[in-house]
Amino acid sequence: MATEFLRDVPVASAPQENLWGSDAIAAMLRALDIPYLALNPGASYRGLHDSIVNYLGNDRPQMLLCLHEESAVAIAHGYARAAGRMMGVVLHSNVGLMHGTMAIFNAWCDRVPMLILGATGPWDAAKRRPWIDWLHTASDQGALVRDYTKWDNQPASVPAAYEALLRAVQIAGTAPRGPTYVNLDAALQEMKIGPLPPLPDVSRYQSPEHVLPNTELLKAAAKLLSNAKDPVILAGRASLGEADWKNRVALAEKLNAKVLTDMKAGAAFPTDHPLHAAPPATFLGEEAKKTLREADVVLSLDWVDTAGTLKQALGDAAKAPKVILVSPDALVHRGWSMDYQGLPPADIYMLCEPDVAVPLLLQNVTSVKSVVVEKKKLEKANHEKLSMRALADAFNAATSGIDVTVTQLPLGWNGAYRHFRHPLDYLGANGGGGVGAGPGLTIGAALALRDSGRLVGGIMGDGDFLMGVTAVWTAAHYRIPCLMVVANNRSFYNDELHQERVARERGRPVENKWIGQRIAEPDIDLAALARAQGAVGIGPVREPGELAGAMEQALAAVRGGAV
Ligand SMILES: Cc1ncc(C[n+]2csc(CCOP(=O)(O)OP(=O)(O)O)c2C)c(N)n1
Ligand SMILES: [Mg+2]
Give how far the C-alpha of residue 86 lies from the chain's centroid of Cα atoms, to the nearest Å: 11
Residues with CB under 5 A from ligand 2 (ion): 461-463, 489, 491, 493
* Predicted local confidence at residue 381, as pLDDT: 73
Ligand 1 close to Cβ of residue 109 (< 6 A): no
Q: How many CB atoms lie within 10 A of CB 104?
A: 29
> Which amino acid would we find at residue 395?
F
**Is 514 within 8 Å of 496 (Cβ atoms)?**
yes
- Is ligand 1 within 6 A of the CB of residue 491? yes
With a 6 Å cutoff on the Cβ, whether 242 touches ligand 1 is no
Atom of ligand 1 nearest to the CA of 462: 16
Q: Check pocket membership of 52 for ligand 1, CB cut-off 6 A.
A: no
Strand partners, 90: 39, 117
Ligand 2 center from residue 54 Cα (angstroms): 44
| Amino acid (one-letter) located at 13 | S
| pLDDT at residue 373 in the model | 63
Phi first, then psi: give them for residue 57, nearest 5 degrees. 70, 25
Compute, in angstroms, the gap from residue 466 CA to the centroid of ligand 2.
10
Pocket test for ligand 1, best of 282, 386, 494 (most atoms within 8 A of CB): 494
461 Cβ inside 6 Å of ligand 1: yes
Name the residue with the closest Cα to ligand 1, atom 18.
493
User: Which residue out of 411, 413, 467, 486 has the highest number of ligand 1 atoms within 8 Å of its CB and is therefore the one to mutate?
Assistant: 411
Could you identify the atom of ligand 1 that is nearest to the CA of residue 465? 15
Backbone angles phi, psi at 61, to 5 degrees: -80, 155
Q: What's the confidence (pLDDT) of residue 1?
A: 42
Residue nearest to atom 17 of ligand 1 (CA): 461
User: SS3 letters for 97-134?
Assistant: HHHHHHHHHHHHHCCCCEEEEEEECCCCHHHCCCCHHH
Contact 173, 205 (CB under 8 A): no
Q: Ligand 1 atom closest to Cα of 410?
A: 21
Residue 548 has what pLDDT? 95
21-31 vs 158-172: helix crossing angle, rounded to 10: 30
Q: pTM score, two decimals?
A: 0.97
Spatial distance between the Cα atoms of 307 and 66, rounded to a whole number of angstroms: 39
Ligand 1 pocket, mutate which of 388, 435, 441 (most atoms under 8 A from CB)? 435
Contact 32, 170 (CB under 8 A): no
DSSP β-ladder status, 348-350 and 36-39:
unpaired
Q: How far is the CA of 461 from the centre of ligand 2 (A)?
A: 5
| Backbone angles phi and psi of 281, in degrees to 5 | -150, 165
Q: How far is the CA of 222 from the centre of ligand 2 (A)?
A: 46
Q: Is the CB of 464 under 6 A from ligand 1?
A: yes
Q: Given the CA of residue 491, which atom of ligand 1 is nearest to it?
A: 20
Q: Which amino acid is at 444?
A: G
CA 220 to chain centre: 34
**CA 177 to ligand 1 centroid distance, Å:** 26
Amino acid at site 45: Y
Strand order in the sheet with 231-235: 258-261, 231-235, 297-301, 322-326, 348-350
d(CA 455, CA 175): 29
Residue 478: CB within 6 Å of ligand 1? no
Q: How high is the mean pLDDT in each 10-residue block of the chain (563 residues)?
A: 79 95 98 98 98 98 98 98 98 98 98 98 94 95 98 98 98 98 98 98 97 96 97 98 98 98 98 97 96 97 97 87 98 96 97 98 86 68 86 96 97 95 98 98 98 97 98 98 97 97 98 97 98 97 95 96 89
- d(CA 502, ligand 2 centre) in Å: 19
State the amino acid at position 101 in one-letter form. T
Report whether residue 122 contacts ligand 1, using a CB cutoff of 6 Å: no
